[in-house]
Homo-oligomer: A and B are copies of this chain.
Amino acid sequence: MADLTLHNIGELTTNDGQKTADGCVVVADGQVVFAGSAADAPSQDGNQVDCRGNTVLPGFVDAHTHLVFAGDRSDEFRRRLEGESYSEIAAAGGGILATVEATRACDADELFELSSSRVKRMITAGTTTLEIKSGYGLDLETELRILKVAKRLGEEMPVTVKTTFLGAHSVPPEFKGDSDAYVDAVIEMLPVVSEFADYCDVFVEHGVFEVPQARTVFEAAAEFGLGARVHAEQLSHLGGAALAAELGAASADHLDHATAEDARALADAGVVAVLVPGASFTLGSPQAPGPMLLEAGCEVALATDCNPGTSYFEAMSPIIALAVVQMGLTVDQAVRAATLGGAVSLGLDGHGTLKPGAPADLMILDAPSAAHIPYRPGTDLVAEVYKAGQRVA
- A interface, CB within 8 angstroms of B: 72-75, 77-78, 81-82, 121, 125, 278, 281-282, 284, 304, 312-315, 317-319, 324-326, 328, 330-331, 367-369, 371-372, 374-380
On chain B, the residues within 8 Å of A317 by CB distance are 378
Q: A284-B325, A325-B284 are in contact. Are A379 and B121 (CB under 8 A)?
A: yes
Whether the pair B77, A313 counts as a contact (CB closer than 8 A) is no
A378 touches B314 (CB 8 A): yes
Flag if A378 contacts B74 (CB, 8 Å): no
Check B74–A330 contact: CB distance below 8 A: no
Identify A284's interface contact among B81, B319, B326, CB under 8 A: B326
Contact B75 A371 (CB under 8 A): yes
Q: Which 3 A-B pairs have the closest CB atoms?
A: A318-B378, A313-B378, A74-B371
List, sorted by A's number, 25 A–B pairs whose CB atoms are closer than 8 Å.
Answer: A73-B375, A74-B368, A74-B369, A75-B371, A77-B371, A77-B375, A78-B330, A78-B331, A78-B371, A78-B375, A81-B328, A81-B330, A81-B331, A82-B330, A278-B377, A278-B378, A281-B325, A282-B325, A304-B378, A312-B375, A312-B379, A314-B376, A314-B378, A318-B377, A319-B378
Tell me how far the C-beta of A289 lies from the nearest C-beta in chain B, rounded to whole angstroms. 16
With A and B bound together, what is the CA distance between A378 and B72 in angstroms? 17
Whether A72 pairs with B368 at a CB distance below 8 angstroms is yes
Q: In the complex, which residue of chain B has the Cβ closest to the Cβ of A376?
A: B312
Could you tell me the distance in whole angstroms from the C-beta of A332 to the nearest C-beta in chain B?
9
In the complex, the answer to whether A377 meets B281 with C-beta atoms within 8 Å is yes
> Which of B77, B121, B282, B374 is A77 in contact with, Cβ under 8 Å?
B374
**A121, chain B: closest CB distance, angstroms:** 6
- Residue from A314, A368, A380 whose CB has the most chain B CB atoms within 10 Å: A380
Bound Cα distance from A122 to B45, whole angstroms: 38
Task: Tell me, rounded to whole Å, the shortest Cβ–Cβ distance linking A173 to chain B.
Answer: 25
Closest to A330 in B: B82
Q: Complex: how many Å from CA A208 to CA B144?
A: 63
How close is A385's CB to chain B, nearest CB, in angstroms? 16
A378: B residues at CB distance < 8 A: 125, 278, 304, 313-315, 317-319
In angstroms, Cα B314 to Cα A73, docked, is 27
A72-B368, A368-B72, A375-B74 are known contacts. Are A81 and B314 too (CB-CB below 8 A)?
no
Q: Which chain B residues border A282 with CB–CB below 8 Å? A: 325, 377
Residues of chain B within 8 A (CB-CB) of A374 are 77, 81
Nearest chain B residue, comparing its CB with the CB of A380:
B380
Residues of chain B within 8 A of A331, CB atoms compared: 78, 81
A378–B376 CA distance with the chains assembled, in angstroms: 13
Question: Can you name the residue of chain B whose Cβ is closest to the Cβ of A73?
Answer: B375
A35 to chain B, nearest CB (A): 23
- Bound-complex Cα distance A313 to B317 (A): 13
Q: How far is the CB of A195 from chain B (nearest CB, A)?
A: 33
What B residues does A313 contact at CB under 8 A? 376-379
Across the two chains, which residue of chain B brings its CB closest to A308? B375
Cα distance A377–B331 in the bound complex, in angstroms? 21
